[in-house]
Amino acid sequence: MTDAALLTCLELIDFIAAYLDGELATAERQRFDEHLRRCQACVDYVDSYRETLRATLVAFEGEDEIPESVPEELVQAVLASRRR
């Protein structure tokens, strides 16, 4: 592979989401992987992008964001609107 075929860091970062979603064609994926083999800064960036996705999921998963109860006046307002 020649250097001309290598992605720049800018191009690699543009492609991260598609890379992680498995949407890159084989040739593009190979160029992406080749860049990562040569560029520690981009390895770190991809890792941190992945960690951002994980942290987003963790911050909103589970029951802690779901309120333990809903204000009774809201329940009553919903039920009252149906009866109208």
Partner 1 sequence: MNEGESSFVEQLRSGDEAAYEKLVREHSRRMLAVARRMLRSEEDARDAVQEAFANAFRGLDRFDGLAQLSTWLHHIVVNACLMRLRTRRRKPEASIEDLLPRFQDDGHRVEPGPAWRAIGPDPAEERELCTRVRAAIDSLPEIYRTALVLRDIEGLGTAEAAATLGIAQEALKMRVHRARQALRTILDPFYTEQTA
For partner 1, the binding residues in 27-46 under the rule CB under 8 A are 41-42, 44-45
Longest Cα pair distance anywhere in the chain, in angstroms? 72
The minimum distance between CB 30 and partner 1, in angstroms, equals: 18
51 forms part of the interface with partner 1 (CB under 8 A): yes
Q: Are 18 and 24 in contact (CB under 8 A)?
A: yes
The minimum distance between CB 57 and partner 1, in angstroms, equals: 7
Element holding 39 (H helix, E strand): none
Phi/psi region, residue 25 (left: phi>0; alpha: psi -120 to 50; beta: rest), is beta
25 forms part of the interface with partner 1 (CB under 8 A): no
Query: What is the C-alpha radius of gyration for the chain, rounded to an integer number of angstroms?
Result: 23
Binding positions for partner 1, rule: CB under 8 A: 8-11, 13-14, 16-18, 41-42, 44-45, 47-49, 51-53, 55-60, 65-71, 74-75, 77-79, 81-82
